[in-house]
Amino acid sequence: MKLIFEKSQTGRRGGELPHYELPPAKVPDELRRETAPRLPELAEPEIVRHFTELSTRNFGIDTGFYPLGSCTMKYNPRVNERLAMLPGFRDLHPYQDEDASQGALELMWRLQEALIEVSGLHACSLQPAAGSQGELTGLLLMRAYFADRGEAEQRDTIITADTAHGTNPASVTMAGYNLAKVETDARGNVDVAHLRQMVDERTAGLMLTNPSTLGLFDEHIEEIAEIFHEVGALLYYDGANLNAVCGISRPGDMGFDIVHINLHKTFSQPHGGGGPGGGPVVVRDKLEPFLPVPALVRDGERFRLDHDRPKSIGKVRGFTGPFGVFVRSYAYIRSYGPRLREMSEVAVLNANYLLARLREAYDLPYDRLAMHEFVLSARSLKREHGITALDVAKRLMDYGFHPPTIYFPLVVPEALMVEPTETEAKETLDEFADAMLAIAREAENDPELLRQAPHARPVKRLDEVLAAKRAIVKYGFDQHPDLSGAQPEPRQLEAQKGT
């Protein structure tokens, strides 16, 4: 498929602007643009065709089953899109007077309250733009808390699990902490004996997700919390897996002091091909003074932004956070109300059902009930037929499914992490299971078919090594028929290529 630049013709344009009879703008010579940027030149119908064609080469939740473990690819309700586009939300400037923004401020306040209720903690900031920014915020909160107590020098280490999502150690480094890793035991829990050896008065805290990235609830969570609290350290909850336990077990009750929630996972903000998201943090009351500024507070029937926060860590993002995301998540939470519990129950039911159907054909590293996701291994397929998790993933595409997460968590070789979510019908789960079982048989009978997969997508398997070597990260324009001055190649009809 051509790039939009390859469809561009000098002199074409999409939109036109109103003209006013005014003295023209005068840019000083030394600041004026010399050469126009080579933006695409297409009329509007061609622009719409181009992006429509691109969309047909993409697969979303709307297209089909998308069981990416740790991503919670649930249905994104359409009414939320309509609500986020109400002019009162869509066209509101962030610096509008507070008395003229009460609807927006109230929505945010109510969302804060809902997240506080779901987490079992006391105060919330909606500011962080995504989960990993929430993590960094949480770590900066820890820093500020310990500095306030005169323990800043002393507390220099954060402990993460070896199953942790890569954002955890990256955030630790960005926050200026040292990183230590605790091992996972044979049941998939944090190895408490190993943990006890590691935790001391130099420990600032723990970063953990529960259930873990293995999809397992840590059976020793109460003991773990005690180990950290005994030495005056804090616990941070990575909310990526909250979809398993809403209304069933709250991170605050598990002993966590700081929680980030992924609004684009648990609370249905569409992923948009990579973002936007939202990563609000919820904290125990002793951490409230350090939350990002401004804080959103309620005074009777009025809502206002409080900038007088002397102990705040500062600002992690512009303004008060991604408001459009708040509209969608708030709407989602109000749709369910207390039935969020049922959402989690069905997420867990769907995952365990799929696990029951697949466990005979794939290796199961931890033989326990799953929560909302589970991890299988393709290591037997690799050993017996030379087929990897990657090959399985590519072949699943031919069956019309998006593959699960592969090669994560790192503690499981040839990992396949499957998270169906609660919005899938049983028939879809059965079709997926049938496909996975068929692929296991194909691994034995026709492994080359898998190694050459996918066969049914717009492209064949793509060469990632070549991409890294060439590092071509933008269009070169030297090939452009118009802008390079080269002679145009004779046109060849797409459908005739390869004949």
- Considering only residues 414 through 443, tell me which ones interact with another protein, judged by CB under 8 A: 422-426
- For 135, the token pair is 């993590």
What are phi and psi for residue 170, nearest 5 degrees?
A: -65, -40
- For 467, the token pair is 């991409």
Does residue 394 touch another protein according to CB under 8 A? yes
CA 101 to chain centre: 29
Does residue 467 touch another protein according to CB under 8 A? yes
Residue ranges in 282-341 that form contacts with another protein under rule CB under 8 A: 292, 313-325, 327, 330-331, 333-341
- Please identify, using beta-carbon distances, which residue of 250 and 382 lies nearer to another protein: 250
Of 459, 493, 496, 499, the residue at the interface with another protein (CB under 8 A) is 459
- Please identify, using beta-carbon distances, which residue of 167 and 199 lies nearer to another protein: 167
Does residue 493 touch another protein according to CB under 8 A? no
Stretch that binds another protein, among 38-46, 197-205, 412-420, 487-495 (CB under 8 A): 38-46
Q: How far apart are CA 393 and CA 422, in angstroms?
A: 22
**Is 64 buried (19+), middle (13-18) or exposed (0-12) by CB count in 10 A?**
middle
Does residue 386 touch another protein according to CB under 8 A? no
Binding mask 203-232 for another protein (x = CB under 8 A): -------------xx-x-xx----------
Q: Which residue has the tokens 């995301």?
A: 325
Do the Cβ atoms of 165 and 260 come closer than 8 Å? Answer: no
Instruction: Calculate the CA dihedral of residues 255, 259, 261, 266 and round it to 10 degrees.
Output: 0
Does residue 48 touch another protein according to CB under 8 A? yes
Indicate the residue type of 301: E
Collapsed DSSP state (helix, strand, coil) of residue 296: strand
CA 213 to chain centre: 14
Do the Cβ atoms of 80 and 327 come closer than 8 Å? Answer: yes
- For 350, the token pair is 């769907």
Does residue 66 touch another protein according to CB under 8 A? yes
Of 49, 86, 156, 200, the residue at the interface with another protein (CB under 8 A) is 86
Does residue 173 touch another protein according to CB under 8 A? yes
Does residue 166 touch another protein according to CB under 8 A? yes
Q: How far is the CB of 185 from another protein (least distance, A)?
A: 14
Does residue 387 touch another protein according to CB under 8 A? no
Name the β-bridge partners of 235.
Answer: 206
Q: How far is the CB of 199 from another protein (least distance, A)?
A: 19
- Please identify, using beta-carbon distances, which residue of 69 and 199 lies nearer to another protein: 69
* HSE-CB for 467 with a 13 A CA cutoff: 6
Q: How far is the CB of 479 from another protein (least distance, A)?
A: 11
Number of residues that bind another protein (CB under 8 A): 205
Residue ranges in 339-378 that form contacts with another protein under rule CB under 8 A: 339-343, 345-346, 348-350, 352-353, 355-357, 368-369
Stretch that binds another protein, among 226-234, 402-410, 435-443, 484-492 (CB under 8 A): 402-410
Q: How far apart are CA 89 and CA 103, in angstroms?
A: 9
Does residue 245 touch another protein according to CB under 8 A? yes
Does residue 84 touch another protein according to CB under 8 A? yes
- For 288, the token pair is 């409230």
Do the Cβ atoms of 233 and 201 come closer than 8 Å? Answer: no
302, 300, 295: which is closest to 102 by C-alpha?
A: 302
Does residue 481 touch another protein according to CB under 8 A? no
Does residue 176 touch another protein according to CB under 8 A? yes
Of 264, 284, 382, 385, the residue at the interface with another protein (CB under 8 A) is 264
Q: How far is the CB of 196 from another protein (least distance, A)?
A: 19
Q: How far is the CB of 319 from another protein (least distance, A)?
A: 3
Binding mask 116-145 for another protein (x = CB under 8 A): -xx-x--------xxxxx-xx--xx--x--
**Is 210 buried (19+), middle (13-18) or exposed (0-12) by CB count in 10 A?**
buried
- Please identify, using beta-carbon distances, which residue of 199 and 224 lies nearer to another protein: 224
Stretch that binds another protein, among 75-83, 196-204, 280-288, 375-383 (CB under 8 A): 75-83
Helix H or strand E segment including 105 = helix 102-119
362, 366, 341: which is closest to 437 by C-alpha?
A: 362
Beta-sheet pairing, 178-182 with 203-208:
unpaired
**Is 82 buried (19+), middle (13-18) or exposed (0-12) by CB count in 10 A?**
exposed
Does residue 170 touch another protein according to CB under 8 A? yes
Q: How far is the CB of 417 from another protein (least distance, A)?
A: 12
Q: How far apart are CA 499 and CA 497, in angstroms?
A: 6
73, 84, 7, 74: which is closest to 40 by C-alpha?
A: 7
Does residue 23 touch another protein according to CB under 8 A? yes
Helix H or strand E segment including 21 = none
Does residue 202 touch another protein according to CB under 8 A? no
Q: How far is the CB of 192 from another protein (least distance, A)?
A: 13
Q: How far is the CB of 253 from another protein (least distance, A)?
A: 5
